[in-house]
């Protein structure tokens, strides 16, 4: 039974593959009369196939859906789509694959940045955590007023409101890396302005 099923599946795939060139010809012929109808047939023919292909790379149904929608949008703008020698299926799969790999690469980059931020947060908060616990210290308040608006804002969000790097990035519409570097510079500047007072506050 297993061998029969495998043989049948292979036959179905061969039959489907043999139909693709005929479908492409039909789509191109239809496009000469009605491009909207041709695109509709193109979507019906490859939508499920492309979703399965995208899901195999992304393992995420929502992302696969978004990728395939983008592929069809690009197909509508592709001037060669209905040209006689243009291979529609090969183009659709190639664009789908490239978009999926871009998403995977971006996902890994975000995970790397977030991981680095998580590892760094404890370090970056020290010694300023103790400085900001002493909010009534005249030295701290005076030094804080000497900072730039950007530095004051990011320090307030991090230490007074206790927001994470990701939350600060979202609130200020900044990239995570920008938040990390700006916060680091703000910390350094505050400690510089505090001078000897910083040592007294953090060692108390």
**Which residue ranges does the chain devote to CATH 1.10.1740.10?**
2-108
pLDDT at 106 over 50: yes
Q: Using an 8 Å Cβ cutoff, are 201 and 126 in contact? A: no
- Cβ within 8 Å of residue 86, ≥6 positions away: 28, 80
Query: What is this structure's pTM?
Result: 0.49
pLDDT at residue 71 in the model: 94
User: Which pLDDT does position 144 carry in this prediction?
Assistant: 75
Reported as a single tens digit per residue, the pLDDT across 4-41 is 444 444 444 454 555 667 899 999 999 999 999 999 99
Tokens of 67: 């990728």
Mind listing the pLDDT tens digit for each residue in 52-76? 999 988 888 888 999 999 999 999 9
CATH of 126-203, one of 3.40.50.2300, 2.40.50.100, 1.10.10.10, 3.30.750.24: 1.10.10.10
Multiple choice CATH, 2-108, 1.10.287.3510, 1.10.1740.10, 3.40.50.20, 1.20.1050.10:
1.10.1740.10
In Å, the largest CA–CA distance within the chain is: 84
């Amino acid at each position: 039974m297993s061998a029969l099923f495998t043989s049948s599946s292979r036959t179905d795939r061969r039959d489907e593959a043999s139909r693709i060139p005929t479908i492409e010809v039909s789509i191109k012929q239809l496009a000469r009369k009605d491009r909207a109808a041709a695109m509709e047939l193109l979507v019906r023919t490859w939508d499920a196939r492309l979703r399965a292909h995208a899901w195999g790379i992304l393992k995420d149904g929502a992302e696969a859906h978004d990728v395939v929608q983008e592929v069809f949008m690009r197909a509508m703008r592709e001037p060669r789509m209905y040209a006689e020698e243009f291979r529609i299926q090969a183009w659709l799969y190639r664009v789908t694959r490239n978009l999926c790999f871009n998403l995977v690469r971006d996902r890994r980059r975000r995970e790397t940045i977030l991981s680095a931020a998580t590892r760094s947060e404890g370090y970056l908060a020290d010694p300023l955590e103790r400085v900001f616990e002493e909010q009534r210290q005249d030295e701290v308040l005076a030094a804080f007023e000497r900072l730039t608006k950007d530095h004051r804002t990011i320090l307030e969000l991090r230490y007074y409101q206790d927001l994470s790097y990701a939350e600060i990035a979202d609130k200020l519409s900044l990239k995570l890396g920008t938040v990390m570097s700006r916060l680091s510079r703000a910390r350094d500047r505050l400690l510089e302005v505090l001078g000897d007072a910083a040592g007294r506050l953090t060692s108390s």
